[in-house]
A and B are shown apart, each in its own frame.
Chain A
Amino acid sequence: AQSVTQLGSHVSVSEGALVLLRCNYSSSVPPYLFWYVQYPNQGLQLLLKYTTGATLVKGINGFEAEFKKSETSFHLTKPSAHMSDAAEYFCAVSRGGATNKLIFGTGTLLAVQP
Chain B
Amino acid sequence: EADIYQTPRYLVIGTGKKITLECSQTMGHDKMYWYQQDPGMELHLIHYSYGVNSTEKGDLSSESTVSRIRTEHFPLTLESARPSHTSQYLCASSEAAGVGPNTGELFFGEGSRLTVL
Q: Which residues of A contact B (CB under 8 A)?
A: 32, 34, 36, 41-46, 49, 51-52, 88, 90, 92, 94-102, 104-107, 109
Contact = CB atoms under 8 A, between A and B. Distances in A.
**Chain A contact residues: helix, strand, loop or mixed:** loop
Interface of B: 6, 33, 40-43, 45, 48, 50, 88, 90, 92, 94, 97-98, 101-111, 113
B96 to A, nearest CB: 9
B103 A43 contact: no
B110 A43 contact: yes
A25 to B, nearest CB: 13
A46 B105 contact: yes
B104 A43 contact: no
B103 A44 contact: no
Given A49-B105, A94-B103, A101-B104, A109 B40 contact: yes
A42 B106 contact: no
A41 B106 contact: no
Contacts of B41: 106-107
